[in-house]
């Protein structure tokens, strides 16, 4: 991007840094060299999303990342503070349920399938040498069910501890990095002003410009403590629950009051976790340096102590206690599923209420984007949890089919997981309908575009094949705007089918293949086919997650692809789930804002900040963070930008018409380039505002229609990449510099300053 292979790092580290050409290192000391050209700089942030190989393991945290997105997708709201807070509380509760679901799945595998079922059946444990010391056939010290459960609890406990460790480490590296003193923006009252198309209204800073928006240190620490405690309490409930039920059912050496006291302590701990999650949201109007140290220290510690107490209680000797069937407490998965569905429905009601108060036509699905994405996160969590349980059960049972009663050695995972797996083939069949509709619409749109393309290249000799190719690419790029047509019905069907799965599991108490016995040969065969196919598809989905992560761990190119996926998912701060991958913008936005503030204060110069793709979103967010005086010295150049097409539609409270109009009026000038062949970037749609229009496009792509003497080889359709290769890019950049030129100040010694500094944001690709 600096057009020179010899670059020098000006400031930053190996993770993210500012670079210049070697010859421009001391540009500020020699302003006479830059009377006719800018000082180019590039901010490279690619390692924040696709750095070392461990980033590939973030794929396993995908449900946490998705539910965190739901927090930021609320509709625009004005004077609805309580409703906005309720929206945030509901999303945080959905996020908490995902932590409980993940921990419960680990308990299902380690405690139920391995320690309770397989180790309790000699035919299963004898085939697994690593379970031999737990086998009831050997009669060893570990053969008692409670002691097996206490030992197996180390697996989910280690998982929760690992998540706490990763969250704490990334919290120290991202959320705890305080912005440079003196660069904080001015505080405004209304975070989402109404669009002012007259140009006479005051410029009110949007929410992304609040001083504490990119500093979520306190909230993430609180949520980390609560989710860690929830994980430990879930393990403790799984361990102590079976022992408490046994002590209540029979008269034994262990007093039943101990189990009741532990269960009461677990309920009290759960209520404290809920209070912590619901009590406080984000503090954005100022830099909040406080930490709730007692809470973040004692809450996880108390939950861990209770887990140790529960393990000791379960390990108490109980002669004659034998494990049979499934571990008591499999009802937990049904409760989690019902709770998630209820929260999503209430969240949808709240979202619709906010949208009807301040409707914006471009908002996706009438403001239901947040609930839909929250439902998607729950579905992903269910697929991953069910996939692990199903595959481990099949592995432990050998040639048998758990739950079907045919040569099965163990009973298998909870019935609900089999029902949930069975609805996946049905969901795919339903998905085929909107997919087919979009396919036909795309084909018809491509046919309709062909005459327009011929007119755009009217000086060229028509080539039907070339015209069809360009039309097909443009029509396919337009599919991005049709994503709600797929995502909405899929999540709606997932909610209904999930409710049907819970009802089927509760009413029948059997897996679908057995529950449909006697319903006729056709229905029986369909139920069995759906059960087996869904089970393998769930397992395959989880295996794909693991193999993709393993490949990306070793392959830099695959890791780069995952890095691009994370560009959108991890742009937003961790406001709902502390175990989600960290927010790179907590580092990148303060980096850019500090550099722009520091450079303009030092030189009293002007600058053009340009960004491609996700870099344009970072550039806009950094400009919002600038003080008003600095922001008036900035020109903004965006290209291939999803700032309105994706962010404005899916995150209207932060990139909707109000914030974008405020941005347009607060910067010195703004220009946005876009192509019809670009599936990601698009218009900003502020051309109705006063002053020069923002959008320029659609740019011609390809630049050359067919073979010519000057271009004897076919010209590529660039789509989302290589905007700098278009001559329009250089023209618009020069025009922005010219518009800045008349107001360029003088340095203190009377020498001319450099015309401008072009701080180019990364292209959104890992190559930066």
3-state helix/strand/coil string of 553-594: HHCHHHHHHHHHHHHHHCCCCCCCCCCCCCCCHHHHHHHHHH
Spacing of C-alpha 206 from chain mean position? 22
pLDDT 10s digits, 340-367: 999 999 999 999 999 998 888 889 999 9
Q: Give the HSE-up count for residue 729: Cα atoms under 13 Å, Cβ half-sphere.
A: 17
pLDDT 10s digits, 437-457: 889 999 999 999 999 998 888
Q: Which residues of 235-249 are buried (b: 16+ CB within 10 A; e: fewer)?
A: bbbbbbbbbbebbee
Q: Which residues make beta-bridge pairs with 608?
A: 635, 758
Evaluate if residue 587 carries a pLDDT over 80. Answer: yes
Q: How many CB atoms lie within 10 A of CB 172?
A: 11
Q: How far apart are CA 284 and CA 51, in angstroms?
A: 29
Q: How many CB atoms lie within 10 A of CB 111?
A: 26
Q: How far apart are CA 321 and CA 136, in angstroms?
A: 11
Q: Which residues make beta-bridge pairs with 675?
A: 699
Top mean-pLDDT range of 111-125, 261-275, 353-367, 592-606: 261-275
Question: Which of 380-394, 428-442, 553-567 bottoms out in mean pLDDT, i.e. has the lowest?
Answer: 553-567
H-helix or E-strand spanning residue 635: strand 634-639
E-strand ranges in 334-373 read: none
Q: How far apart are CA 761 and CA 41, in angstroms?
A: 9
Q: Which residues of 501-515 are buried (b: 16+ CB within 10 A; e: fewer)?
A: bbebbeeeebbbbbb
At which residue do the structure tokens 């019809």 appear?
676
Spacing of C-alpha 548 from chain mean position? 17
Q: Angle at which helices 483-508 and 369-397 pack, to 10 degrees?
A: 50
pLDDT the model gives residue 1:
67
Evaluate if residue 431 carries a pLDDT over 60. Answer: yes
Going by pLDDT thresholds of 50, 70 and 90, the confidence category of residue 148 is confident
Q: Give the HSE-up count for residue 182: Cα atoms under 13 Å, Cβ half-sphere.
A: 7
E-strand ranges in 229-335 read: none
Question: Which of 51-60, 147-156, 487-496, 609-618 bottoms out in mean pLDDT, i.e. has the lowest?
Answer: 51-60
Provide mean pLDDT across the span 590-617: 89
Q: How far apart are CA 190 and CA 738, in angstroms?
A: 34
At which residue do the structure tokens 């599991």 appear?
505
Going by pLDDT thresholds of 50, 70 and 90, the confidence category of residue 57 is low
pLDDT the model gives residue 654:
92
Going by pLDDT thresholds of 50, 70 and 90, the confidence category of residue 486 is confident
Evaluate if residue 187 carries a pLDDT over 70. Answer: no
CB-CB contact of 495 with 375 (8 Å): yes
- State how far the alpha carbon of 628 is from the alpha carbons of 147, 185, 377, 663, 665, in Å: 65, 7, 39, 11, 11
Going by pLDDT thresholds of 50, 70 and 90, the confidence category of residue 751 is very low
Q: How far apart are CA 626 and CA 633, in angstroms?
A: 10
Compute, in degrees rounded to 10, the torsion defined by CA atoms 257, 259, 265, 267.
Answer: -110
Q: Give the HSE-up count for residue 125: Cα atoms under 13 Å, Cβ half-sphere.
A: 21
Beta-carbon contacts of 513 under 8 Å, excluding residues fewer than 6 positions away, are 403, 404, 524, 527, 528, 531, 532
- Among residues 281, 297, 288, the alpha carbon closest in space to that of 574 is found at 281
H-helix or E-strand spanning residue 695: strand 695-699
pLDDT the model gives residue 688:
58
pLDDT the model gives residue 551:
64
pLDDT 10s digits, 63-110: 999 999 999 999 988 778 889 999 999 999 999 999 999 999 999 999
SS3 188: coil
CB-CB contact of 103 with 235 (8 Å): yes
Cα angle 497, 502, 506 (rounded to 5 degrees) comes to 145
Q: Output the DSSP codes for 131-147.
A: GGGG-TTTT-GGGSHHH
- Among residues 763, 765, 735, 759, the alpha carbon closest in space to that of 610 is found at 759
The structure tokens listed for 111 are 């405690």
Q: Which residues make beta-bridge pairs with 658?
A: none
The structure tokens listed for 717 are 């359709």
pLDDT the model gives residue 526:
80
pLDDT the model gives residue 25:
87
Going by pLDDT thresholds of 50, 70 and 90, the confidence category of residue 687 is low
Beta-carbon contacts of 199 under 8 Å, excluding residues fewer than 6 positions away, are 665, 689, 690, 691
pTM: 0.88
Q: Which residue has the higher pLDDT, 742 or 640?
A: 640
Going by pLDDT thresholds of 50, 70 and 90, the confidence category of residue 397 is confident
What are φ and ψ of residue 392, in 5° steps? -65, -40
Q: How far apart are CA 451 and CA 440, in angstroms?
A: 19
Q: How far apart are CA 117 and CA 136, in angstroms?
A: 11
Q: How many CB atoms lie within 10 A of CB 79?
A: 9
Q: Give the HSE-up count for residue 310: Cα atoms under 13 Å, Cβ half-sphere.
A: 30
pLDDT the model gives residue 235:
95
Provide mean pLDDT across the span 638-655: 92
pLDDT 10s digits, 282-323: 777 777 778 888 888 899 999 999 999 999 998 888 887 877
Evaluate if residue 427 carries a pLDDT over 70. Answer: yes
pLDDT the model gives residue 750:
34
Cα angle 64, 70, 76 (rounded to 5 degrees) comes to 160
Evaluate if residue 214 carries a pLDDT over 70. Answer: yes
Q: How far apart are CA 576 and CA 73, in angstroms?
A: 12
The structure tokens listed for 419 are 């029902």
**Sheet containing 607-612, strands listed edge to edge, beginning at the edge strand earlier in sequence:** 7-12, 17-21, 39-44, 757-760, 607-612, 634-639, 669-675, 695-699
What are φ and ψ of residue 457, in 5° steps? -115, 45
Evaluate if residue 755 carries a pLDDT over 60. Answer: no
At which residue do the structure tokens 């759960």 appear?
270
At which residue do the structure tokens 């930008």 appear?
641
SS3 7: strand
Average pLDDT, the chain: 82
- Among residues 520, 528, 566, 545, the alpha carbon closest in space to that of 421 is found at 528
CB-CB contact of 98 with 382 (8 Å): no
E-strand ranges in 252-344 read: none
At which residue do the structure tokens 């997932």 appear?
494
- Among residues 697, 731, 700, 698, the alpha carbon closest in space to that of 717 is found at 700
Going by pLDDT thresholds of 50, 70 and 90, the confidence category of residue 520 is confident
At which residue do the structure tokens 């799965």 appear?
501
pLDDT the model gives residue 632:
81
- State how far the alpha carbon of 329 is from the alpha carbons of 235, 498, 673, in Å: 12, 20, 58
């Amino acid at each position: 991007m600096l057009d020179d292979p010899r670059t020098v790092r000006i400031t930053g580290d190996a993770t993210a840094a500012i670079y210049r050409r070697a010859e421009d290192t001391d540009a500020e000391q020699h302003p006479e060299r830059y009377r006719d050209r800018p000082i180019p700089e590039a901010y490279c942030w690619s390692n924040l999303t696709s750095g070392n190989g461990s980033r590939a393991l973030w794929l396993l945290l995908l449900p946490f990342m998705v539910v965190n997105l739901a927090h930021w997708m609320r509709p625009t709201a004005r004077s609805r503070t309580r409703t906005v807070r309720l929206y945030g509380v509901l999303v945080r509760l959905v996020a908490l349920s995902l932590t409980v679901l993940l921990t419960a799945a680990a308990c299902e595998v380690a405690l139920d399938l391995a320690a309770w079922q397989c180790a309790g059946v000699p035919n299963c444990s004898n085939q697994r040498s690593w379970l031999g010391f737990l086998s009831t056939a050997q009669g060893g010290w570990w053969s008692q069910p409670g002691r097996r459960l206490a030992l197996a609890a180390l697996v989910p406990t280690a998982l929760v501890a690992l998540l706490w460790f990763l969250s704490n480490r990334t919290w120290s590296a991202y959320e705890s990095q305080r912005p440079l003193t003196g660069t904080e923006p001015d505080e405004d009252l209304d975070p989402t002003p109404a669009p002012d198309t007259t140009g006479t209204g005051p410029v009110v800073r949007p929410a992304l410009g609040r001083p504490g928006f990119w500093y979520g240190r306190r909230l993430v620490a609180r949520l980390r403590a609560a989710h860690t405690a929830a994980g430990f309490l879930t393990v403790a409930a799984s361990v102590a629950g079976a022992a408490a039920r046994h002590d209540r059912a029979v008269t034994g050496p262990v007093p039943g009051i101990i189990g009741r006291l532990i269960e009461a302590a677990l309920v009290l701990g759960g209520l404290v976790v809920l209070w912590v999650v619901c009590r406080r949201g984000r503090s954005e109007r100022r830099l909040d340096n406080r930490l709730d140290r007692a809470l973040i220290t004692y809450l996880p510690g108390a939950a861990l102590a209770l887990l140790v107490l529960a393990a000791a209680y379960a390990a108490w000797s109980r002669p004659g206690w034998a494990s049979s069937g499934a571990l008591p407490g499999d009802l937990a998965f049904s409760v989690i599923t019902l709770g998630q569905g209820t929260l999503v429905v209430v969240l949808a009601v709240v979202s619709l209420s906010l949208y009807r108060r301040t409707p914006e036509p471009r908002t996706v699905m009438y403001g239901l984007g947040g609930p839909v994405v929250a439902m998607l996160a729950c579905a992903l969590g269910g697929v991953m949890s069910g996939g692990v349980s199903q595959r481990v059960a099949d592995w432990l049972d050998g040639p048998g089919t758990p739950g079907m009663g045919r040569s099965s050695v163990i009973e298998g995972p909870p019935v609900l997981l089999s029902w949930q797996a069975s609805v996946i083939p049905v969901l795919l069949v339903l998905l085929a309908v909107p997919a087919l509709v979009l396919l036909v619409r795309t084909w018809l749109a491509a046919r309709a575009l062909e005459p327009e393309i011929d007119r755009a290249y009217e000086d060229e000799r028509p080539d039907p094949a070339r015209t069809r190719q360009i039309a097909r690419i443009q029509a396919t790029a337009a599919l991005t705007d049709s994503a709600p047509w797929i995502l909405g019905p899929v999540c709606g069907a997932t909610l209904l089918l999930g409710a049907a799965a819970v009802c089927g599991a509760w009413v029948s108490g059997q897996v679908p293949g057995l529950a449909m016995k006697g319903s006729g040969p056709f229905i029986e065969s369909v139920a069995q086919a759906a059960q087996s196919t869904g089970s393998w598809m769930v397992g395959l989905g989880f295996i794909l997650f693991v193999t993709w992560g393993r490949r990306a761990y070793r392959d830099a190119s695959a890791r780069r692809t995952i890095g691009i996926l994370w560009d959108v998912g991890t742009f937003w701060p961790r406001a709902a789930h502390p175990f989600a991958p960290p927010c790179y913008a907590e580092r990148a936005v303060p980096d850019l804002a500090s550099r722009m503030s520091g450079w303009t204060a030092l030189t009293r110069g002007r600058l053009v900040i340009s960004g491609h793709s996700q870099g344009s979103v970072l550039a806009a967010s950094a400009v919002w963070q600038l003080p008003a005086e600095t922001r008036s010295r900035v020109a903004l150049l965006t290209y291939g930008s999803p700032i309105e097409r994706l962010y404005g539609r899916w995150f209207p409270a932060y990139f909707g018409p109000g914030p974008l109009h405020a941005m347009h009026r607060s910067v010195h000038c703004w220009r946005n380039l876009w192509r019809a062949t670009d599936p990601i970037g698009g218009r900003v749609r502020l051309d109705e505002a006063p002053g020069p229009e923002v959008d320029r496009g659609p740019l011609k792509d390809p630049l050359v229609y067919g073979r010519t003497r000057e271009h004897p080889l076919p010209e590529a359709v660039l789509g989302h990449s290589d905007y700098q290769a278009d001559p329009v890019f250089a023209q618009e950049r020069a025009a922005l510099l010219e518009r800045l030129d008349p107001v360029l100040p003088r340095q203190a010694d009377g020498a001319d300053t450099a015309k401008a500094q072009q701080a180019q944001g990364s292209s959104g690709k890992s190559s930066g």
